[in-house]
Structure 1
Amino acid sequence: MPTAEPRLRAEPRGEARPEESRRPPDLPLTIGLFVAVFAALLPVLGVIEAGPWLAGAVLLTALILAAGYIARHNRLPAVAVSLIELAVWVLTLTFFFFRDTALLWLFPTPETFRAVPDALAVAGNDIALGAAPLTAGNELAFMIVGATGLLTIIVDHVVLTARMPLLAAVGLIAVSLIPAIAVPRGVELPGFILLAAAILFLIRSETRSREPKVQRDASRAAGVPATALGIGAIAVVVAIVAAPLLPQPAAQPGAGGIGTGPGIDVSLQLGDDLRRPRETTALIVRTDEPSPPYLRAATLSSFDGSVWEPDRLRSVPLTSDFALNDVSVGTGVRVTEYKTEVEVRELVSPWLPVAFPAVAVNGLQGDWEAVPYNRTVVSRTSSSAGQKYEVVTHDPRPTLEQMRAAHSGGPEIRDDTTKLPDNLPAIIRDTAAQVTEGAESDYDALAMLQRWFRSGDFTYSLESPVEQGFDGSGADAVAKFLEVKKGYCVHFASAFALMARTLGMPSRIVVGYLPGTATNDSVDGETVYEVMSSQLHAWPEVYFDGIGWIPFEPTTGLGVPTTFAPASTLNGSGDDSNDVTSTPSPSSSSQRPDEGQDPGSVDQSSGSQSTTAINALPTAAIAFGVLLALAIPALLQFARTRRLLGAAATGDAVAAWVIVQDAAIDLGIPVPGSDSPRVLGRRLIDEFGAPLAETTLLVSAIERASYAGGLPYTPVAGLSEAAVAVRSALFVGMPSARRAFAVIVPRSLVVRPGSVYAGAGARTRF
């Protein structure tokens, strides 16, 4: 006699199916979303100083979410909810930032809308030319608060209307990573944990809102919250331990955007750029100068004891008559005009590499501005990528006697080029006085400093500052560098600039590129030079009255030190080739010497660097980390299934049925919300080879658990074994590739039965 099959029971009257009733507003989801947006905003504090903008962003987020919650509570359509939130966004921003142009301080007028592009342009300029941490003015605060409000509206719609918390999580994580891309920082553990917890809470809360009460109880018993905690713990471990082992991205901080090539970091965090293993051709240069010039991007004058900040100076359009005025020098100082052609290959930056002192830059595409004070060229909207341009310079060429007679300083000097921090380590001041003892002029003292740094006592090293904990440009790092005598260009430039200031001389640091290496090509009789990404460099400058800013090259093994010829050697010679340039000239090779190698033994003709041996340990660690990451979903699903089996062994019908649903979802079998357990069970038997007896047992048990009402529930024996049998049969009936994918990428960890991602599938009736 055939085994009796359960008959389809009608749905209980008076109970609305989930798709037939509007889901009520979910207060926990709204609160969780507020915390998630706040956590995503925390990393911004690493690049922008806390101020009124933070309170404004938090308040606007709260107002938007509260408006959305009230609208949903009143059963308004999704479109109306989003429109109400947009209205709150506009009115609040108008009151915060443009109430002087608004009607009744709230309602924007045409004048308000005309002010918005100008505010955004000023904010973009602050970001492009500023150094972290920025002080947010009214315009930058408007940009941040407005962007936070838009983000809130978007994720509110995605989470509470579309019910897609995972998509919202991707957006929140992406936003939280933007400050880290702009300025390299370590893992902000509190903010990361808060964001991870908020995202997991959103996912779990939204998932639980889809489940009937009996299934929520079973999920709790099966340890789903513990699974979520496990995911969070693993994510924290991966972020803190595995992430530092990954290779550095090609796009560099300070590039003004994510582009196809490296950028210029003007914050003196050049160590990461120079240690980057992938070397590219940044620029192609040719010039009529006797030696190829250094190319500057930005200057840094303000020093607070720990950070050198790029100069925030007035800029004017490059086409303006006040952009790059002619060079002003004292009587008798010779000035020579040179032209340098630059072709940008792989460099994405709002700062344009130019020779100094530039009086004209021709051939640029886009909108560019000049900073008259330091003769640099920047852009708010364009990039250096693909640019080909000509730089015209008027180079002062003083004699040695003129340099010795000139005083370091003058009326054009800004205060921040002479300031020193109150807690400057004594070794900096004492060493400067000791090295320059007996100097008869300011120039002689600086020449003594330059010669001391390049005498052979110091070693160029990218690794020693990291290993010994002084990889920076602050006063403490400089003090340690003077003790260890190992470092790279940032340390040499910082030490020289600070020591010059202790001697009463105005100084600043320049970030740019070393002169390139000569190639075998020439154009119009001019040698073509190739500037590599590894030649990103920093050097000091000191101001001399009547001559201008004079660069020096203290970094051992790089270029040629600054020198000047006596007038007697120049008399009667009108040939420029007899002049000694005041810009540090490169040796035939401007590559870095290897650590521990005598700079004098470096092959000056080949321009080649020794190949760094590949350390297999980081590679193996990365490979192991990747394999571990790939195995995490399978391990989590295994742990989840074990917990559900434990609950099923005690007679829990819901836990046993969840095992079957998980297996179906992992294998790509549709589990739509419109299918009752009996319909799904029949489809599994007819189409996917599920065993009849075990499936019937599970269907009967879940129906009794779901529809028993207030009657006492009696646990059913054998549910664990039945669930294992059905799950195994479903896997056996699938192709091997589909089974492997189901194990490696178990979709049931994030896709719940009845959700839109579980699929509609075919409908089979008994």
Structure 2
Amino acid sequence: MSASDTSSPSPARRRRDLALLSLGVYAGIVAALLPVFSVIAPGAWTVGALAVTAAVLLSGLAVRVLRLNALVATVIELGVGVILLTAIFGRSTALLGVIPGPATFASVPSLFAAASEEIRLGVAPVVPATGLSFVLVAAVAGLAVVLDHVVLTARMPLLAGVGLVAVSLIPTIAIPAAVDVPAVLLLAATVLFLLRMDVRSRTRAGTSGRRVAARARGASATAIGIAAVAVVVTVAAVPLLPQPALRFASGTGTGAGTTINPNLELGNDLRQPREVDVLTVTTTAATAPYLRAVTLSRFDGSVWEPDSGDAVAVPAEGPVFDPVPVDGDIALADATTTITVGDLDSPWLPVPYPASTVSGLEGEWLGIPENRTVVSRSGSSRDQEYSAQAIVPRPTLEQIRTRPVGGDELGGAVRDLPADVPAIIGDTARSVTAGSQSPYDALVALQSWFRSSQFRYSLEAPVEAGFDGAGMDAVAQFLQERTGYCVHFASAFAVMARTLDMPARIVVGYLPGTRSGSIEQGNTEFVVTSSQLHAWPEVYFRGIGWVPFEPTNSLGVPTNFVSGTTGGGSDPADTPDQQDAAVPEATRTTAPQLDDPGGAGTVTAGQDGTATTSPVAVLLWTVVILALGAAVLPSAVRAGQRRSRMRRALGGDATAGWGELRASAVDLGIPSPDVESPRAFATRLIEEHDADDTDVDLLRDAVERAVYAEEAADPAAGPAFTDAVARVRARLRARATPARRLAAAVLPRSLTMRSVSPPVAVPEPVG
């Protein structure tokens, strides 16, 4: 073997390889951040994060070019990151504007507190202020430090790729959306680039000449093959996969009630500490309508499930749904409602019932004819402005009293009840409706009973009494406690109606809102706030359609049709005092305010036992956890390797004991080239590192017999092998500096070894 076969790469080539690896890390961070923009709006923080990341990586590159210790690179990178963060966010309290002082560090908790408040009250995509911007820039800089060492020091680019993929997936998990093909391709390209550069630099460090070219060609062919497969899968196969399921906003932390929760956990939204305006409404109708977002028909006794069904694309112009089929003698009223959405981030679109045309939407939206709702698989209602035209049935009192409930077109889901319905529910329904002459009269009796003084509206009482839910047990306890909020009233009403063999379902949406005082084109504007998120029941009448009822005590407008002999029909939208009833004082006083902490009615987020986490919080915590995990993972993997080898050595496997000895030496900075024979390595350990010659010779002789003479493992010799390894390892550690021992524990270099077994001499091929 020629001398050139073991020569190191030239300084220029080494610098170029290090620079390309650093560039790959930077590109990987950029690619991983692209999906984050669906949760956090890009802006000044993005420029700051990319600039600080570039400075951190450049400083680490400079340290490595100067061949300084890897720990020095870490310290300098952290120092550069702190200085730049100080220059950006703490100039006023820093020495010379860049050197942090006690006051600078004292301001960090307040920045984290501000970031927490932004996360709690923000709506995705959040536009970060100073606090959240600081946390984001610091998190990205910390990620750069970790990835720099994983790739350039520990030489584990695949682990870095896993971390980058995990970071890029978190926003998609938090807010499911369609696959971003360009972002996936860019991230895949950066990971492949890191792998390719790592392979090339390793190959150059160990071989040269013809073998360098052969290995380079093989690695390039492999990388190209992987890239081709990735492109084919991403571009061709991904669009053929099933589309993401309709995503349901949790309503538990993405803002102060600025989502629509279709799972009847509205208490979390209503108990938010701040009330915000979510949308405005102008309408040609006499009063503003209720706005529906999602219907819930299937009830298994514990959970009301949101309806789904075949969907049709919402056209830019023209009707989405056919008009509601009604009997010919029923009057109809045509109304157009314009809705401007602000801080409401939901895949479900608030629309009046029964809207037929919805125009002006941005993005791709779907209409579900079965329940006349509009939804997006990947878009959001936020910042939408659209118009909805609805032709509303207006039956008279006489007409609705003569109509039966139900119809052949309905499925069984709107009537189904579990077998074990608590007796109090059915008994109470029959008692309250006794003597009613028609289904409509029975439903009005139920509505009036719920809205009577026997019931009280409260957001806190269900939490305190332990029945804050919509299941059968919660309904039964609600009927005993007789206090709760809209979820409990609506669920109890719907279940009781079903016990009377009436098809009923629940709707989640918004109350009509309050007049703002402004007038647009002759129509009054109404403002809807987060505290007006609401749930109410509907019952189906043949020849009329779904009719809403309002059982929630002190909220909304009760359904009450009037006689045709007094001037025509009426429904909740026609009630003159609707706006006063729609926003009662109970709504405003039970929603705690920021300026009244701890006052009556104050409930902190999550007080009901439900964790309140937002997509932004998930993203930030995941980055922190990934960084910590990446920091401890190398030592954990190394510990697992050590245990595995020592177990095999105890069983008489001399090569396993020798492999652990080599790995321990490499961790402590003692080189162990793959081309070096066991005898040469043993001599260096004894002469240069003061290893005990008896222990080293024992292991060397055993491994030479195992490798060259193919001697079988001897279990009887196993304890001697493991003891020898432990003594030599302890001797080497004792001679190493504390910094070297720390580096061996945190970033063990042996993880980058291609082989731990002694090499077998193989003749060099000729020609």
TM-score (norm 1): 0.50
TM-score, reference length from structure 2: 0.50
Higher relative contact order (CA 8 A, sep 6+): 2
